[in-house]
Structure 1
């Protein structure tokens, strides 16, 4: 829903801000007051072309900002798919700033392309003015609207088609992957066999890589360990050991003459014992451990083999062995490919038959619902003075199956006797097209997820009963949607939940456009102007008051 519109330095507008109601918003004003500037500014923010000299003369820039409230979950999800910056408090701001010949569009403060702006805008707002931003003119939207309109009756068939298509697509993918030319088949067989044998020849054991790493660390330093330990053993046993033994003998020879030397002799004896223990320990280690260059190379080669296989086929030995198992299965399939392909083809044929039947049932259901919908839209069009209208939906088969069936469907119309029916997007008249859109929206309002509708030119060339019917249909749509309508017809303006007057004024030798929200008394005065023109008599004012009261009662009913 469009909460707020802010325009600055656009054409005759210095700066205006409008807070919209969530139901029917009416904008009226004299011809040339600036209504087209407001529509043009909205179009600009939604990704439209920048009209020449649209920025106010002598202004450094022009700016349009649209503040939306987004509550529909499906719309939020689609905005996420478009990578729209996070929507805080359910609000989204679209803006466009025009500086000279350049312009910058942003969504929630982040710069985006005009193409992305248009995609976002299509989810939030439908603008019916000169073929701009009209979702109902996009053929791909027609089938979606039809499906929403008949969602209860179509649900089961759509689910069946989607389920069949999912299975069908998986089988097609598997079949494509297994349908190989003989040369390609041989190439794959050779490759898979080589990889399988490479792993097989290694005779890998679970956890082997961890023990190899530990052994390699020891072996890599084995030579240094043996050499250092041998030197230490020699020093302890020969040089240090002999020196300590000699010192001990000398001390023992004199300690009996002086009791104070006994403790020193004992300390030296302890050192001698420790050196003897150290010598025995190093001798035992050296006898048990030897360094072999050949064994080290064998260990290194084994570790390189294991790491090579892990680099090619998996992060761990478990992964490599799992990959080998998969290779065996793929080899089995390739070696018996013809039988496997035949099996897939049989399954595909079976599911394709089911998919075709389900798609045909869905198409028939859609045609029945389309007939009802087109009848309702035709009645709505007759109400809007399209007395000789014909409205229908064309179904054309798609070349391929999809999860949504095999239907390409779009609406066609003829508004005059003897005129061929044409697709909606070929309807030329802006005002006529707006009323066609109104008729369609009135029938699809409950299933159309676009919350905000803007109508311009909807009252071109109509009056009397047709004008009243247009007003009633707009009122009906506004019960469940936000509607913004620019009009010169009092019948439509009387239905307003919120009424704005657009005026052109001269301020300090400068022409500016302003907009005012009208209270009830001012609304009646504006209705009187729309009814009576220049001269507003008491009778005209009374007629305006009665029209407003009748519109209020009609809205309640």
Structure 2
């Protein structure tokens, strides 16, 4: 259940705060007042698509915050554990910030999440039906998704199994298609693989070789500089050739001088020890420089050999990888390709067996899914007709047809080959007949706007029972209806709201009269800016708002009395 909603700097809304109640929450207002803007904000909380254009002009960012009661489903709690989100009894706080620069920040209970993660959370919090969503009833993919959702966890588990086995089948089919190369193409590929493999194997690179050779080449190329530096440093430290004395001689003399001085002042003793230690280090460094100098190698022939070897490795890197390690990975791939190309027939036989096994697994799962889906569709069709009967469509016939498309390269099912997707082998279509004596025809071709709206309301009601979602949102579900049909829709919404929270935008007085809480959305001009405000109506203001919805701007005694009567009838119905 949605308990609190705060929207700041979103489109025309500067700041709106709603405390929503259980039951039926109705939103009304003049066209253009901002009802759709408020629902757009709710959609963003569910992970809907955002645009920086919706940030109120002059503001740095738009913010939407929604506080929900904690859903009872174990799946929601498992999702929170998966993303490391703490839950408590106070609720689930979902927020989303949109900056004018396009930055998008989503949080659940203070923890940052992605939009995709927010969508996963949203499916347990609210179910939203937009005013154009009834068009999805005409899409076969959406129709099959509705059946699967109605079928519950068992059917959805079967669909997940089909999706997994379809991926295996698709991979196996792609492998065998690639393996069934034309003979000429196979021979050409074989020649290329052999040539590349021979070039790498003849070079026989080893991991890290190029780095080692570059370091060795650097030393050989600069041997004279290295020798000169080591020799000069050795002279300065040890031999002192060409100088009065070496550093070692200077340190020895210093030690002699301080040895005499220490007898007169003991405070010089620590300094003397430091110099003695320095003498040992200088002597050790001098010996190391002497050894290094003697090992410096002057070898033009070896340098030339190194250059030749490095050129070989550079050519390989240009062709087969940026490093020797990548070249060796490519070599291993070539070995596998060579084996597959040379053992073409054996490989085809192995891949055929893999495809056959994957196909049998997919066929088994797809047939099981189709059987379960047909059973669920029969229950759904009966439930929809019952719901439509309560929505003033008592003579409506509703059915779901199943077909399978035969395909030459399709999945073997018995003696047939049928088209298969990750959704299985079924193609479904919702069939509809609104009047007695008329045959069933595709819903998209025969149903009016009002009939589609009521059919969607029926489906949403049934799916809410299946999903156990806490809040249902309807945006003008009463499109295209009036009179008795409007009253039936109002009563249906009232009944649904007894078991879950319903939030509904409407232009119909009959629906508004059923509200447990009625909110008015108004647009005004202040300081040269357009602002949208939302506030709850008390009983007197409800009468006035209903009268406006009945007759327009002019309120008369008759319309006010009619509005009061509608509210009284609604109270009696709900009680």
For normalisation by structure 1, the TM-score amounts to: 0.64
Is the CA contact (8 Å cut-off) linking 2:66 and 2:95 kept in structure 1?
Answer: yes
Contact kept, 8 Å, 1:459 with 1:489, in 2: the verdict is no
**Which of 354, 376, 394 is residue 401 of structure 2 equivalent to?**
394
**CA-CA distance at 1:394 after TM superposition:** 2.4
Contact 1:126–1:135 (CA<8 Å) still a contact in 2? no
Q: Does 1:324 align with 2:331?
A: yes
Corresponding residue of 1:25: 25
Note the residue ranges of structure 2 that are not aligned, 5 or more in a row. 45-56, 80-91, 107-114, 235-240, 246-285, 408-418
Most deviating of 199-208 and 350-359: 199-208
1:204 corresponds to: 205
The answer (yes or no) to whether the contact 1:125–1:451 under 8 Å persists in 2 is: yes
Aligned-residue offset at 1:384: 1.7
Cα offset, 1:188, TM superposition: 1.7
Deviation of 1:395 after TM superposition, in Å, equals: 2.3
Q: Distance in 1 between matches of 2:486 and 2:230?
A: 109
Tell me the distance in 1 between the aligned counterparts of 2:204 and 2:478: 82
Partner secondary structure for residue 350 of structure 1:
helix
Q: Shift of residue 336 of structure 1?
A: 0.7
Question: TM-score scaled to structure 2, two decimals?
Answer: 0.62
SS in 1 for 2:483: coil
Q: Superposed, which structure 2 residues align to 1:434-473 within 5 Å?
A: 434-447=453-466, 451-455=472-476, 457=478, 460-463=481-484, 469-473=488-492
SS of 2:145's equivalent?
A: helix
- Please say if residues 391 and 413 of structure 1, whose CA atoms lie closer than 8 Å, have aligned partners that are also in contact: yes
Seen in structure 2, the aligned counterparts of structure 1 residues 539 and 483 have a Cα distance that, compared at 3 Å, is closer
Distance 1:66 1:396, change over 3 A: farther
CA 1:361–1:541 in structure 2 vs 1: closer, same or farther (change >3 Å)? closer
Match of 2:358 in 1: 351
Match of 1:480 among 472, 492, 500: 500
| Contact 1:524 1:548 (8 Å CA) reproduced | no
Superposition map of 1:107-122 within 5 A: none
Report how far residue 232 of structure 1 moved.
Answer: 12
Q: Residue 369 of structure 1: CA displacement?
A: 0.5
Query: 1:23-65: per-residue Cα shift (whole Å, max 9, x none)?
Result: 523356xxxx834765677799999xxxxxxxxxxxx99xxx9
CA RMSD of aligned residues (A): 5.2
The residue that corresponds to 2:517 in the other structure is 498
In structure 1, the partner of 2:416 is: none
Does residue 442 of structure 2 align to residue 423 of structure 1?
yes
Mark the CA change 1:544 to 1:228 in structure 2 (over 3 Å): closer, same or farther.
Answer: closer
> Alignment partner for residue 517 of structure 1, among 536, 544, 551?
536
> Structure 1 residues 108, 336: CA separation in 2 closer, same or farther (over 3 Å shift)?
closer
Distance 2:140 2:229 in 1: 86
Distance of 1:231 and 1:125 partners within structure 2: 83
Cα deviation for residue 506 of structure 1 reads 13
Distance 1:426 1:20, change over 3 A: farther
Partners of 2:434 and 2:447 within 8 A in 1: no
Whether the 8 Å contact between 1:24 and 1:497 is mirrored in structure 2 is yes
Q: Secondary structure at the match of 1:404?
A: coil
Partner of 2:410: none
Is the 8 Å Cα contact of residues 33 and 532 (structure 2) preserved in structure 1?
no
SS at match of 2:420: strand
The answer to whether the 8 A contact 1:7-1:17 is kept is no
Change (3 A) 1:284 1:138: closer
Aligned pair in 2 of structure 1 residues 335, 457: CA closer, same or farther (>3 Å)? same
| Structure 1 match to 2:345 | 338
Partner of 2:426: 407
The answer as to 2:21 corresponding to 1:34 is no
Aligned residues: 453
How does 1:306-321 map onto structure 2 within 5 Å? 306-321=313-328
Aligned twin of 2:155: 154
**Helix, strand or coil: the match of 2:393?**
coil
Report if the CA contact (8 A) 1:477-1:483 is conserved.
no
Deviation for aligned residue 1:292:
3.9
* Superposition deviation, residue 504 in structure 1: 11
Larger radius of gyration: 1
- Which region of structure 1 is more displaced relative to structure 2, 474-483 or 386-395? 474-483
Q: Is the CA contact (8 Å cut-off) linking 1:395 and 1:410 kept in structure 2?
A: yes
For 1:158 and 1:385, locate their aligned partners in 2 and report how far apart those are by CA, in whole Å.
35
- The unaligned stretches of length 5 or more in structure 1 are 48-59, 78-87, 96-103, 111-115, 234-239, 245-277
**Number of the residue aligned with 1:90:** 94
Does the C-alpha gap of structure 1 residues 506 and 191 become closer, same or farther in structure 2, counting only changes over 3 Å?
closer
Contact persistence 2:432–2:447 (CA under 8 A) = no
The whole-number CA distance in structure 2 between the counterparts of 1:70 and 1:402 is 39
Residue pair 1:446, 1:480 contacting (<8 A) in 2 also: no
| Contact 1:528-1:543 within 8 A present in 2 as well | no
In the TM superposition, residue 350 of structure 1 has moved relative to its aligned partner by 3.0
Distance 1:159 1:332 in 2: 36
1:432 shift after superposition: 3.2
Instruction: Say whether the 8 Å CA contact 1:69–1:92 is kept in structure 2.
Output: no
Report how far residue 340 of structure 1 moved. Answer: 0.2
Q: 1:160 to 1:375 in 2, by over 3 A?
A: same
1:430-473 CA distances to partner (integer Å, 9 max, x unpaired)?
A: 3333222222222222346794212254583333xx65543332
In the other structure, the counterpart of 2:164 is 163
Whether 1:433 and 2:440 are equivalent positions in the alignment is no
- Match of residue 189 from structure 2: 188
Could you say if the C-alpha distance between residues 4 and 462 of structure 1 is closer, same or farther in structure 2, counting changes exceeding 3 Å? Answer: farther
- Secondary structure at the aligned position of 1:219 is classed as helix
- How far the C-alpha of 1:181 sits from its partner, in A, is 1.7
State which of 547, 550, 553 in structure 1 corresponds to 2:572: 550
Q: CA deviation at 1:153?
A: 3.2
**CA-CA distance at 1:160 after TM superposition:** 3.2
Match of 1:82 in 2: none
Deviation at 1:327, TM superposition (A): 1.9
1:392–1:107 distance in 2 versus 1, CA, 3 Å: farther
Alpha-carbon separation, structure 2, partners of 1:396 and 1:175:
29
Taking the aligned partners of 1:318 and 1:7, their CA distance within structure 2 comes to: 55
Whether the 8 Å contact between 1:456 and 1:487 is mirrored in structure 2 is: no
